[in-house]
Structure 1
């Protein structure tokens, strides 16, 4: 719901493109700084506790946005929501990654990301309908706070490994340990590269597509539908990820194909002015993004041992949030200077460059293998 609500609220406040970039990027500042320490917290205390606490922090952030007017409340809320979202996602990914390996893990992450996309389908539609009905944002942040509270209550019911932590030392979960892992583990390196490309595309898409559509004088409801279409496409295809990987000839080929699909959809967005053309490009972005992110999680989960998994997922999410933080700022600066067509076009080129780098790799790292060909287990 925030994908539509925050840009619309920022425009209500009269935000310039650069100021809007600051607002949209602020959600990713704390996650970038704290992803690795939070990975250690999840390892020690288990996913259930950290997920529930994250939901409560998200409620506080949304209440700040509702009751503290102007940019102060918007940015303060974005900071807390970003931290809470990181905590909840990191907890969930840690729980899922411990359930299986190989094609079964691909399937589990496919279903996990399917339901993530489900929220991204329904959320913008609800937000767009509310804004149209209320004539503005109104009390929409209160509605979101109630939904976040429900998610925390549901999380209390998690059992098994989700409720148990591991005894680990700071040497296993700290910054030095994760830096060493990134240097020597090719699977982690590939996962981060995929994440950077995919999140750059989705960060630009989700942050500025509503603004672009608003500049085309489309209604909030139409904006909600077009924003949701990308997530809907991802949701529909993600249960079939293991089959898609087999059909394309393996993870490496599937990843490259997904990145070039992302590139095509994003690069052409700025020259599309009609809803059907924009919808077709949104489908391309949904197909590419729907495949890259689950693949990056599977590659990483199979490349490290259990005691390092939360920390490694934290590194991946740190890269994720760093890109989310930088992408709107860069896009906003380019947009202010040259318009939507150039901004979206350059964003597509960035994705293509990452795909070319991955093409130079021989193949995705086999499960459990480091850059030196040694097992992490």
Structure 2
């Protein structure tokens, strides 16, 4: 029962996170931000997570998830209110998104660590699958609510709505309505250094896999709204396209446990990355909203299982008492990718157009997916022995 309450609260919170991505991108474009400035704004969301995710994990290991959840959820709400309080100022978006990213990382690490603490080794895959299924629902609701809210209530009130979605779950943790497991304190592992975790072979390969996945996710989240805007699509239509991606996430995660019973982890990952590569190749070939919804849905089918698998892999290979720190390092890798993608590809897109951006990422995903499947055919090792 506690699991489903936590997942519901994570769903509500994550709705604000997913809505923020499309809201900030469209708002900055409405304020006539250059492609470079837009890239900096989007990248600022990942700046502090890139620097402090591992610390957030260590803090969660030390004091438990309750305080990080409370401060993170309320801090995210405050960050979302700043553009409403200081209207039509691009520099406020830089401040808001930097604060948003810092508070968000504490919340996400704490939630993931809490889900892991609630589970056993036998139920862990199921628990994280349930959690990511809830996140998938929020991935659907966030862009959809945001798109329609922008069209009918404009940007300011949309920031307020998303701030409410962020703050409400924090109230449940303030009033201690959830029985949170006690912290598993470190023992002999407490002197291990950050670098030792980063260089541990099984964990390093998990981090690399996660980084490849997030490259695709980051490019999609950054460029799809820009591409849709360049086609003259409304915010509501763009929100619907992104929501189709989330619907596919939901479906893929509903069937993830069944799929994993039929196929090995690396086979599932390789197939999903290949499907995503095909979708990335197709995106710039079409300008009709209906077809883009279909392509977005196909991409969601591909990416849907990748992230929960990488979370489970990271948790299972964590030293005792350091699960939060390992999850934090995983997010550090992810946020580094999300920080660099808008900056590197923002200018590239403005100079060369959308084809090179989408197709280069399609090539990366295709190569990664093929490598996983090919190595599986030549080896009986698990995914942890596949990526160097």
Indicate the residue corresponding to 1:93 in structure 2.
112
Answer yes or no: is 1:210 the counterpart of 2:225. Answer: yes
- Equivalent pair of 1:193/1:354 in contact (CA under 8 Å): no
Give the superposition deviation at 1:178. 2.8
Indicate the residue corresponding to 1:375 in structure 2.
none
Partner Cα distance (2:194, 2:259) in 1: 31
Indicate the residue corresponding to 1:10 in structure 2.
28
Indicate the residue corresponding to 1:178 in structure 2.
194
Q: How many residues get paired?
A: 361
Give the superposition deviation at 1:98. 2.5
**CA offsets, 1:39-76, max 9 Å, x none?**
11000111122111101111121122221341221111
RMSD: 2.1
- Equivalent pair of 1:171/1:177 in contact (CA under 8 Å): no
Partner Cα distance (1:144, 1:170) in 2: 43
> Which range moved further: 272-281 or 199-208?
272-281
Partner Cα distance (2:309, 2:210) in 1: 9
Indicate the residue corresponding to 1:238 in structure 2.
253
Which SS does the other structure have where 2:305 is aligned?
Answer: helix
Give the superposition deviation at 1:343. 1.2
Partner Cα distance (2:120, 2:201) in 1: 18
Indicate the residue corresponding to 2:178 in structure 1.
158
Partner Cα distance (1:347, 1:180) in 2: 30
Residue ranges of structure 2 left out of the alignment (5+ in a row): 1-18
Which SS does the other structure have where 1:160 is aligned?
Answer: coil
Answer yes or no: is 1:44 the counterpart of 2:59. Answer: no
- Equivalent pair of 2:77/2:163 in contact (CA under 8 Å): yes
Partner Cα distance (1:96, 1:203) in 2: 24
Pair 1:184–1:357, CA change in 2 (3 A): farther
Pair 1:334–1:103, CA change in 2 (3 A): farther
Pair 1:356–1:101, CA change in 2 (3 A): farther
- Equivalent pair of 1:232/1:286 in contact (CA under 8 Å): yes
TM-score by length of 2: 0.87
Answer yes or no: is 1:24 the counterpart of 2:38. Answer: no
Matches within 5 A, 1:310-349: 310-349=324-363
Give the superposition deviation at 1:154. 2.6
Matches within 5 A, 1:1-377: 1-69=19-87, 70-101=89-120, 104-134=123-153, 136-156=154-174, 157-161=177-181, 164-168=182-186, 172=190, 177-186=193-202, 188-247=203-262, 249-358=263-372, 359-360=374-375, 362=379, 363-364=381-382
Give the superposition deviation at 1:169. 7.7
Give the superposition deviation at 1:344. 0.8
**CA offsets, 1:168-218, max 9 Å, x none?**
489737xx62321232231x1232122111111111111110111111111
> Which range moved further: 140-149 or 289-298?
140-149
Partner Cα distance (2:237, 2:100) in 1: 26
- Equivalent pair of 2:33/2:90 in contact (CA under 8 Å): no
Partner Cα distance (1:205, 1:160) in 2: 35
Partner Cα distance (2:162, 2:188) in 1: 36
Partner Cα distance (1:287, 1:280) in 2: 11
Give the superposition deviation at 1:279. 1.5
